[in-house]
Amino acid sequence: MKCLYEKTAGRLVYRSILLTVAVIAVVWSFLGYKPVMLYFTNWSVWFAAAMTILTYAGTVMSTAKGNEAVLDNKAFRLLKFCAEVMIFATFVVSSFVLPDKLWTAGFWAPGSIFKHLLLPILYIGDGILCDKRNSYKVHYIFAALAAPVIYWTAVITRFVTYRNSMGGAIPEDQWSNYYPYGFTNIDNGHTLTFLILLLAGIAVGLAITGTVFYLLNKKKSEK
């Protein structure tokens, strides 16, 4: 059975569905908790949505003219892979770590379904089903860590700086403006050392995830 990357019409239909879900997820990202730019979930949704738009444009060009220039662009493939790893992290954390987990009612609110479930599954599925085989490179695995590291560095720098300016602790009524998730709150039972070690563990998990995606892309081309 051929994969969708070998079926131009099927690939376009799949990516049309993905584009619709991505747009809805982006809309919901601005309707959730404030400030919206504080959350890793939102950044991963915006990143995946941006790459989905580019992917769709490239697929339309391929369908109409047989032009694969966008889809074969090295920078595009790298960024698409990075977004795949990042949106996978959103799926795992939102499904199994945050208070509104997969088995709780809050997870199944419309916004959560599109941001935490449908977009991650369809976007990851796009990489597995629609990307050309052997199109991923080993260095993608490590490059995919860049965006999460930049995000967490910015978040930690922001709340540590403000915490120091407040005399060593952020007032409780301002926690929601600086701590995106409970496990990041070093004023509520956690230490900065614990947080850094936890994030290092997450980075290892993302590297493993990237390795799995790389191997899936490579294995499919073997006869």
| Cα dihedral sign, 30-31-34-38 | negative
- Given a cut of 60, is residue 221 above it in pLDDT? no
Rounded Cα distance, 123 and 107, in Å: 19
Q: What is the pLDDT of residue 34?
A: 81
Q: Do residues 50 and 190 make contact, with C-beta atoms less than 8 angstroms apart?
A: no
Tokens 């926690």 belong to which residue?
175
Give the lowest-confidence range in 4-8, 150-154, 207-211, 213-217.
4-8
The whole domain housing 190 covers: 4-219
Q: What is the pLDDT of residues 199-209, one digit of tens each?
A: 999 999 999 99
Q: What is the pLDDT of residues 115-152, one digit of tens each?
A: 999 999 999 999 999 998 899 999 999 999 999 999 99
66-86 core/surface letters (b: 16 or more CB in 10 A; e: else) = eeeebbeeeebbbbbbbbbbb
Average pLDDT over residues 9-18: 92
Q: Greater confidence, 6 or 26? A: 26
Tokens 């967490």 belong to which residue?
152
Q: Do residues 107 and 95 make contact, with C-beta atoms less than 8 angstroms apart?
A: yes
pTM above 0.85, yes or no: yes
Q: What is the pLDDT of residues 48-101, one digit of tens each?
A: 999 999 999 999 998 888 888 889 999 999 999 999 999 999 999 888 877 788
Q: Structurally, how many domains does the chain consist of?
A: 1
Task: Assign 165 a pLDDT band (cuts: 50, 70, 90).
Answer: very high
Q: What is the pLDDT of residue 95?
A: 87
